[in-house]
Structure 1
């Protein structure tokens, strides 16, 4: 074992410990996949990341992202959290205030500005309507009638998200889904607030088969939802989505549009610094 720098950060909240926690192992070169997965399972957080030397000069660092159960090619809150941890450990943005992250999904551009970090939304690798039988099954999982689901789409960008649109934020908040029925589905639900509310949408993320059944605040899901809602004319960036409300969190995900590209951003706070023997 080797003593390695270690940190934990809170992503998507202006108030520490009200967003989504991320564990970050620095200087992770030499660790095997089995060692990374074992440690990610042990932290029991929604994700744990490992910072390594990049394999291309185009990137500032390379990251591997693990849930308690599997490795992901990309995820949103680990992207922003890893960038924050890398910066806090002495990394410097490139000219223009950008950081380039290398991950299994490719190179991800991260913008550093005005106390926030934001990542450029990667392309969806599956983006199509759901089969009707699957929509009916999801209604059963969520405990709502089929007619309450206004629209449904695959929104795969690493995680295998299915987007479900309901008529209101209150309907999203009232959901009492059954994890025993979810299998391995990853379901993201969104509904709009009224025009006078602080945030424009409420989002919830349910991950079948994962020890962390409901994710507090989810960057990859909000990235897919932003693409979908924008393409269907139901949202016009900039807008803000809230997530984690039913879990006692205050997640705020800021969606913006720049030069035709969608960006997902939020505040990230360093909470824990130390070392880990790994």
Structure 2
């Protein structure tokens, strides 16, 4: 058994307990795959990450990202939370102001400016409209009419999201998903907010897959893929703000900005718990 620095952070938060929690284990090179997976299962958070020395030239650190049941090649809030902990534990990036994270999906740049971090959206692995049979199944599982869907798209950048833009934010918030009927899909819903609202879009991430079907309070991967789709097709401005987690009693904010060929997904990260993990 060995001791490891451990942090639990709140990602995309607007205040204590209002974002998405993440567990981070530092200096984890001595841990086996089985130990990582077992600890991630024990924390019972949507993701737990482990910080390791990088393999690729140009990377500042490497991260492995585990759900309670499996490993992910990439995920958004674990990327920001891991970079925050790496910096807080004394990490110094090779390039000032930009941390380069190595993960299963490759190298991901993370800008840091004070307390706010933003990652560059990785390429989507699959794009284009969904099969109509998928849309029909999703609508049935969500209890909505097909006419409520303005447009749809694959949003697969590691997590295999399928995205629907609904008529407005109210339509997104009114959805009552039947998770058993939704399985095995992971569905992202987005709808424009009303004029004068403090967020341009409302987003919900509904996970019909393992380990337990649930709604995610703040989802970087989904918002990255949504931004690539909506901005490219002219359905969203070059910069906008997303609110997520409303139905869960959270109040997360995700800041989206298109800069040249890159789309940056950012937000606040705060450390809530510091200590050691005996593994």
TM-score interval (norm. to shorter): over 0.9
Aligned Cα RMSD in Å? Answer: 1.1
Counterpart residue number, 1:214: 215
Output one character per residue of 1:179-214: Cα deviation in whole Å (capped at 9) or x when no partner.
111222110000001221110000000111332610
Where 1:150 maps in the other structure, the secondary structure is: strand
Counterpart residue number, 1:162: 162
Counterpart residue number, 1:25: 25
Where 1:267 maps in the other structure, the secondary structure is: strand
Unaligned runs of 5+ in 1: none
Given the superposition, is the C-alpha separation of residues 11 and 263 from structure 1 closer, same or farther in structure 2, using an over 3 Å criterion? Answer: same
Q: Partners in 1 of 2:209 and 2:234 — Cα distance?
A: 33
1:252 aligns with 2:257: no
Counterpart residue number, 1:36: 36
Q: Displacement of 1:93 after TM fit?
A: 3.4
Q: TM-score, normalised by structure 2?
A: 0.97
Q: Displacement of 1:57 after TM fit?
A: 3.2
Q: Partners in 1 of 2:113 and 2:258 — Cα distance?
A: 15
Counterpart residue number, 1:190: 190
Given the superposition, is the C-alpha separation of residues 67 and 218 from structure 1 closer, same or farther in structure 2, using an over 3 Å criterion? Answer: same
Unaligned runs of 5+ in 2: none
Q: Displacement of 1:114 after TM fit?
A: 4.1
Counterpart residue number, 1:56: 56
Q: Displacement of 1:113 after TM fit?
A: 1.1
Q: Does the 8 A contact of 2:186 with 2:209 survive in 1?
A: no
What number of residue pairs does the alignment pair up? 278
Q: Displacement of 1:34 after TM fit?
A: 1.7
Greater shift, 203-212 or 64-73, is seen at 203-212
| Segments of 4+ moved more than 3 angstroms | 93-96
Q: TM-score, normalised by structure 1?
A: 0.97
Counterpart residue number, 2:86: 86
Q: Partners in 2 of 1:129 and 1:69 — Cα distance?
A: 29
Counterpart residue number, 2:4: 4
Where 2:117 maps in the other structure, the secondary structure is: strand
Counterpart residue number, 2:238: 237
Counterpart residue number, 2:139: 139
Q: Partners in 2 of 1:98 and 1:255 — Cα distance?
A: 17
